Amino acid sequence: MKSLYVKVPITKGESTRKKLAESGILNKSFKIRSDNQFLYVPISTRKNIPPDMEIATGEFEEAKKHETIEDLLGFIPSYEIIGDIAILSEEDVNVARAILKIHKNVRTVLYPVSPTTGEFRVRDFKVVAGEPRTETTHKEHGCRYIVDIQRAYFNPHLSTERARVSAQVKPGETVIDMFAGVGPFSILIAKRAKHVIAIDKNSDAILFLRKNVELNSITNIEIIQGDVRGVAARFKGRADRIIMNLPHKASEFLDEAIEMLRPDGIMHYYDIRHEDDFEGAAVNLCGIAARRGVSIKVFNTRKVHSYAPHKYIVCVDCQVTS
């Protein structure tokens, strides 16, 4: 079939293709042609093409359209992917098989048969299709995390939040991750901080945290298994920054966080709030702190991720002063 195209030297081919794609001019319906000297890049319009580029019309082979999950099912199902495991929102073997066909990297499709419950925030799963397992390796921001999602909590939707918090960490800081899990906050932060203290009560989470520290060649993380209430006194006044990623119950551990922080230390406090009470997280935090004789200076309150209908995980970035 015929299409407009631009003719460019092969040495400039990839840079030209990227510019045309970014401008929305690249015609992705056709395959790019080439010979020994030139690349012939299909375009959809003459507009905004630099005057030094040669434009012509020629024959091109149609590009093969990649099949989508919507093509297979007629709708877009709800699911998330952790490593090579997909987790369905609704149990459906046809959806599971479609995911395995479309996502070549996915090896297992699971359906949660229980809600996230208990102090370790874990749930049980049923294998709907693929390999019978719940352990995987998840890649994020250049790090790798081994996790068994039935034994330890892991939320892939916090990826952007982990990068945001990590970017604020200064090289000389000591950071305490009060509810570290398998280490996605701790390990990323350890690449910037002087020292990280990672605490978790779940022995399975600690098992995977140790594996992940080794897997990512991290040497500046101190791993502590235990209830933060029982270990906080050991780290009194040690932290320049504290991560309180336990949205359901973080307020219950504020005494320990304050005890471990240095004067004017930074806290990243997580809560769950209704969409009509977004600022309530900071108000609640300041009220709790005031009753303990502590002042909170709030820098930022932000929605992190949708938790349930009309509810969000919220982070309050703040400084704690006496």
What are the backbone dihedrals phi and psi of residue 182, each rounded to the nearest 5 degrees, phi first? -85, 0
pLDDT score at 155: 93
Within 8 A by CB and 6+ apart from 47, the residues are: 25
Within 8 A by CB and 6+ apart from 279, the residues are: 301
- Using pLDDT thresholds of 50, 70 and 90, give the confidence band for residue 248: confident
- The pTM for the full model equals 0.79
52 vs 302: CA distance, rounded Å: 47
pLDDT score at 280: 86
Coil/strand/helix, residue 318: strand
What is the token pair recorded at 18? Answer: 């990227």
Amino acid letter for position 39: L
Mean pLDDT along residues 26-36: 89
**Over 80: is that where the pLDDT of 118 sits?**
no
pLDDT score at 199: 98
**C-beta separation of 186 from 208 below 8 A:** no
**C-beta separation of 257 from 197 below 8 A:** no
- Using pLDDT thresholds of 50, 70 and 90, give the confidence band for residue 12: confident
pLDDT score at 293: 87
For 67-95, the pLDDT digits (tens) are 889 889 999 999 999 999 999 999 999 99
- Name all domains of the chain by residue range, CATH numbers in brackets: 2-59 (3.30.70.2580), 69-133 (3.30.300.110), 153-321 (3.40.50.150)
Q: How many residues does the chain have?
A: 322
**C-beta separation of 273 from 312 below 8 A:** yes
For 164-193, the pLDDT digits (tens) are 999 999 999 999 999 999 999 999 999 999
pLDDT score at 46: 87
- Which stretch of DSSP H or E encloses residue 15? helix 13-22
- Using pLDDT thresholds of 50, 70 and 90, give the confidence band for residue 62: confident
What is the token pair recorded at 223? Answer: 């791993």
- Using pLDDT thresholds of 50, 70 and 90, give the confidence band for residue 57: very high
**C-beta separation of 55 from 48 below 8 A:** no
Mean pLDDT along residues 197-223: 97
Q: How far does the chain reach from its first CA to its final CA, in angstroms?
A: 73
**Over 90: is that where the pLDDT of 297 sits?**
yes
What is the token pair recorded at 87? Answer: 């987790």
Q: Which residue has the higher pLDDT, 277 or 233?
A: 233
